[in-house]
Structure 1
Amino acid sequence: MSEKKLAEAFKLIDEAHAQDPKKIQVDGKEQPYELHYSQKMSHYLEQRNPCAPDTLRLAIRAQHFRRWEIPRDSYAMNKVGYHAWRSYLKKRQADMASQICLDCGYSQDDATRVAQLVRKEDLKKDEETQTLEDVACLVFLDDQFEEFEKQHDEEKIVKILQKTWEKMSEKGHELALELPMSDRCKDLVGKALVVARG
């Protein structure tokens, strides 16, 4: 029964992700970006915690649920605006993911738990929330970092890498160091870790 509910919830989440107008090329084929992102999240969850409960699997899959519908520039383009945008997104995504759980037959407690995880409540104290954060950081390093580093100067990139590292657990660090990276990206990570480790 649990497998059936999980499959139905994944189907609804992925159908929504497939509506993302932003497209990328993956192995020579065009794919909606958020569908690609969510599948990457699930992939790294399998490495971080292959025995994860449904609630964590669902929160991981719905992490960016319909995010494109609230563009960054709909808020002030400054630090205050960025944090307000992120806070609203987390609440909105949590509410919608929770409703999908209920629609697929999960209990109110399960739906509430998924919402808590999507909002990243009790980070550093809650192991499952920390797992979600590790997975998000791994996807950034694997899937977005190489392009991201081309758009910013080295000092800013190193600081971002340091902040990313601080968010992760020791297990997350181990997995991050196993990621395939270009020589340039490896060099930047190395510089960030020298500073992070003091």
Structure 2
Amino acid sequence: MVTEGFQPSDPTRFAEAIRRFDEENARDPNTIEVDGQRLPRELVYARWLSEWVVRLCPQAGEALRLAARCQHLRRWEIPRESFPMDRAGYLRWRTTLQRFHAEQSGRILREVGYPEEMVRRVQELNLKKGLPHDPEMQVLEDALCLVFLEHQLEDLAAKTSEEKLLNALARSWKKMSPAGRTAALGLHYSEPLRGLLARAIAMAEGGETGAEEP
């Protein structure tokens, strides 16, 4: 995603990397409706994430912009159901996904000509290394949480118990920086969800969050 003031090290190479990431994600057989159109879910997700990264950090560098576009690259190929449906299985699934995304992003970045230093940096961001001490990683984490709140929360609320939803919201709140939290509070929510968010914030600030659900 190129914005005013951003100058990639090689504009043609950067554009080709983004094109390749989008091409891969456009193969997602799962679709969601956006403005009346059914579109590949991971393609849309990558665009949402890119948009939030730039909104939060207009001066975002090349590695961060690349990482945002490939953070869930080909995610549908490793479904949750391929691991045991318990907490241990959930954690193994998450770890496997992160490594898979990093491997796939590295492959494409090398193919379009990026040096190993840039490949490693994007993969560090894919793997969430350095959170919360890495400022770029924190921007990416904020963006991930904000995509969840803006685009996924309502659907999750329709099929999730209140307790699980509160825990998910509280965990998201704890992960976010002050800037991310300010952005989260500025989003539009239904009255029931705004009430749940307020309760989740109180839980997070009181240290009452539970473990991530499987």
Q: TM-score of the superposition, structure 2-length normalised?
A: 0.89
Number of residues paired by the alignment?
A: 198
Q: Give 1:10-25 correspondences, 5 Å limit.
A: 10-25=18-33
Identity %: 40
The corresponding residue for 1:154 is 162
The corresponding residue for 1:132 is 140
Could you tell me how far apart the structure 1 residues matched to 2:192 and 2:66 are? Answer: 34
**After the TM superposition, which parts of structure 1 deviate over 3 Å for at least 4 consecutive aligned residues?**
none
Amino acid across the alignment from 2:60: A
Could you tell me how far apart the structure 2 residues matched to 1:164 and 1:12 are? Answer: 30
Q: What's the C-alpha RMSD, in Å, of the aligned pairs?
A: 1.1
Could you tell me how far apart the structure 2 residues matched to 1:182 and 1:42 are? Answer: 25
The corresponding residue for 1:142 is 150
Gaps of 5+ in 1: none
1:97 partnered with 2:105: yes
2:32 is paired with a residue whose SS is strand
Q: Give 1:73-112 correspondences, 5 Å limit.
A: 73-112=81-120
Deviation at 1:195, TM superposition (A): 2.7
Deviation at 1:148, TM superposition (A): 0.4
1:12-46 superposed Cα distances (whole Å, 9 cap, x missing partner): 00001100000111111110000110000011011
Gaps of 5+ in 2: 1-8, 207-214
Could you tell me how far apart the structure 1 residues matched to 2:101 and 2:202 are? Answer: 36
Deviation at 1:171, TM superposition (A): 0.8
Range that drifts further, 134-143 or 145-154: 145-154
The corresponding residue for 2:40 is 32
2:132 is paired with a residue whose SS is coil
1:96-130 superposed Cα distances (whole Å, 9 cap, x missing partner): 11121121221110001001100000111111111
Q: TM-score of the superposition, structure 1-length normalised?
A: 0.96
